Amino acid sequence: GENVEQHPSTLSVQEGDSAVIKCTYSDSASNYFPWYKQELGKRPQLIIDIRSNVGEKKDQRIAVTLNKTAKHFSLHITETQPEDSAVYFCASHNYGQNFVFGPGTRLSVLP
């Protein structure tokens, strides 16, 4: 079955710097890749997603890139702010299958 790895497990950056989190997946049939942000004590919230017919998607300070050949996708956060501090989860999905989540990355943005 599908396996999703996520790196790094923890990431600390200075406010204003960029943060990059990378995920790799094993099932070449996976075609939908969402990213969730989870603040302490809250539910995971979708922040951006990418579909397999697209290589990059951007929404203000957040972008996601997808490399289907290498089977990896990355979350890029620019101009980080303290409110970006949270745990970020990547996931992969294939039609008819369940979502498979990465183990998460704890991002700390230091003021």
Partner 1 sequence: NAGVTQTPKFQVLKTGQSMTLQCAQDMNHEYMSWYRQDPGMGLRLIHYSVGAGITDQGEVPNGYNVSRSTTEDFPLRLLSAAPSQTSVYFCASSYLGNQETQYFGPGTRLLVL
Tell me which residues touch partner 1 (CB under 8 A): 31-32, 34, 36, 42-46, 49, 51-52, 89, 91, 93, 95, 98-99, 101-104
The pair of three-digit structure tokens given for residue 47, joined into one six-digit string = 């922040």
CA distances from 80 to 18, 42, 77, 102 (A): 6, 20, 6, 22
User: Could you tell me the smallest distance in angstroms from the CB atom of residue 93 to partner 1?
Assistant: 7
Q: Minimum Å distance from CB 16 to partner 1?
A: 28
Least gap, CB of 104 to partner 1 (angstroms): 5
Residue written as token pair 């990896």 = 72
Q: Does residue 66 contact residue 54 with C-beta atoms inside 8 Å?
A: yes
Residue 64 has which token pair?
């996601």
Between 62 and 78, whose beta carbon lies closer to partner 1? 62
Between residues 32 and 71, which has the closer beta carbon with respect to partner 1?
A: 32
Kindly tell me which of 14 and 53 has the beta carbon lying closer to partner 1.
53
Between residues 46 and 110, which has the closer beta carbon with respect to partner 1? 46
Q: How far apart are CA 6 and CA 75, in angstroms?
A: 11
d(CA 106, CA 21): 10
What's the min distance (Å) between Cβ of 51 and partner 1? 5
